[in-house]
Each structure stands twice: as C-alpha cells, then as structure tokens.
Chain A
C-alpha cells in the first residue's frame, strides 16, 4: 500500500535556527513528490515538485531534496513568516487519475 509519513509532527524553531523536515514514502512507482505550504484556514500553496532521486529545488530559504525513499525540506535561517504547516504528497503509478497521497504534515512555528 502506498504511504507517506512526515516527521516531526510539530517543530518549534527560533528565528535563524535552520532545520529539516522529513517525508518518507513507500509507493509503487513514483511519478512525482510535491511539497506544499498551508496556512491556517487556507488551501495548500504549491512549493516544489521533485521527480527523480538526486533532484534538488530551491526557493528563497527553502530547499527540497529527494532520494529513493525520502525527501527533505531544508529551511535555512527561518523567519516568523515561515510558520505554517508543510505538506508532502506523492503521485504514484498505481494511483487512479494520478491522484496525490498526502502525509499528515509538519506544523512549523518560528519564534522571533
């Protein structure tokens, strides 16, 4: 069965304290791994797509990496405005209509 597990469930950082969020997956044929940011009461905002192991993407303080079993979202020198829930999702070959399987998310709080 296709599964996505995110850790930690919640993370509290001081402003400027870099860290990483983990997304572990087991799928039968990865077609894409997606990172989203979700603010309270809002829909997810697209951040990155990774398609193959070894691929990396960067945007401002965020950097996403991918291996054959997991993805990391690295946050460098975070600011309070980076506080949000970060969701990881995978699209597998076995999924009908190419649907996404979401992890439970990591709730990030960055304090000044």
Chain B
C-alpha cells in the first residue's frame, strides 16, 4: 500500500519550455501533497505544500509564478515549471500523506523527475 506515482521520470527540453510533472497517489486519498527539489548529494528541500481544493503554500524563496501547483483531486497534484531555464535543472520529488488518521503519519514519495534544461 501507499504507492505514489510520479510522471515523467525524466525530461530533457530547451530553455523557455514549460514542463508539467504529475504526482498521483495510487491506492489512497491524499489531502496534502508536497513538492521537493533535490540537488546532487544534498537532502530534500521543500518547495511547496499542496492542499486539495485550495492554493498551494510556498516556502520562502520559491517563486509561485515560476512553479505552478495544482491539486485538483484527492489523488493528483501537478507541478508546472514555467519558462524553464538551465538553473531550474534538478531532481523534483513529490510526496503524499493519507487523509485517514492523524496528520503526523509518514509521507510517501514518488520516484522523482530528473529535469534537464538545455
């Protein structure tokens, strides 16, 4: 149980392109999903928290107009990197937490998306 699917796993595109990444909870409903960014040999940096049916909450320093988040249902959140540039190249990972039970249950992670902007 608690499977999170992230798609695509890898994207290579030209500078200026917008890229959409999907995060789905396959066997549970997730009121809250999280988006992280990870640089090589570094830990996960939270970018934003996504709540179903409401606006995402962005961490300090993360541009909300650059990283658009939509959480349209209890099983799907999307991250769109708008007008991507080489400095946006990174490993993006989503996670989800079940809506059942207390809020201090574990987050379950997707397998990440490797974004490379040329």
The residues of A with any CB-CB pair to B shorter than 8 Å are: 31-32, 34, 36, 41-46, 49, 51, 87, 91, 96-100, 102-105, 107
Point out residues on B near A: beta carbons under 8 Å.
2, 4, 6, 32, 34, 41-44, 46, 49, 51, 57, 91, 93, 95, 97, 103-112, 114
Closest to B49 in A: A97
Q: Is the CB of B108 within 8 A of A46?
A: yes
**B51 touching A104, Cβ below 8 Å:** no
* Pair B109/A45 contact, Cβ less than 8 Å: yes
**Complex interface: chain B residues within 8 A of A42 (CB):** 111-112
Kindly state the separation between the CA atoms of A46 and B42 in the bound complex, as whole angstroms: 18
B118 to chain A, nearest CB (A): 20
Contact B111 A97 (CB under 8 A): no
Chain A residues with Cβ below 8 Å from B4 are 43
Which residue in chain A gives the minimum CB-CB distance to B103?
Answer: A98
Q: How far is the CA of A46 from the CA of B57 in the complex (A)?
A: 24
